[in-house]
Amino acid sequence: QTCALPILDVHRLEEGRAFWLGGLKLPSSFGAVGHSDADVLIHAICDALLGALNLRDIGFHFSDTDPQYKGIDSKILLRNVMALIKEREFSVVNIDATVILEQPKVNPHIPAIQVILAEILEVTIDRVSIKATTHEKVDSFGAGEAVKAYAVCLLSK
Ligand code: MG
């Protein structure tokens, strides 16, 4: 089983926030806004994994009004999602994701992000594809007002 469409997550960017992306804190004076640590890349990956097994979505499992998830490290959410996957005797084959962000540059951080995610997803680093692109200064993403990530995954029983 796998999903047919790339899964999308979006977060608004704001000055003075920590910028968590793929479990890594990016050097930045601004960051993403959310109930959790607002890690848009991990959220998209969680939704891809959940969607592949028809397990609803991240908001269903980890409500954004539940105080226990306020400011939570999204790596914990991803570990919880992996537990659901493994409970059903599935494992991750690979993931592919793209981050759309005007700045800071994501590319230099991709190897570190791959290491973090591969450990949680229980795959080798070569199975964790992370890509980054800008929005070419077009619309709110291009103006640096928001960050977006897409993810797809393949699971096997
Ligand atoms: Mg999110």
- Residues 98-133 have pLDDT tens digits of 999 999 999 999 999 999 999 999 999 999 999 999
The pLDDT of residue 94:
96
**Average model confidence (pLDDT) across the chain:** 93
**Nearby residues of 65 by Cβ (< 8 Å), 6 or more positions away:** 35
Task: Please check the confidence at residue 1 and state whether its pLDDT lies above 60.
Answer: no
20-29 mean pLDDT: 97
Whole-number Å distance, alpha carbon 46 to ligand 1 midpoint, is: 10
**Confidence band for 66, pLDDT divided at 50, 70 and 90:** confident
Taking the centre of ligand 1 as the mean of its atom positions, its distance from the CA of residue 146, in whole angstroms, is 12
Q: 110: which residues sit within 8 A by CB, 6+ positions away?
A: 130, 131, 132
The pTM assigned to this predicted structure is 0.95
Cα gap 42→74, rounded to integer Å: 6
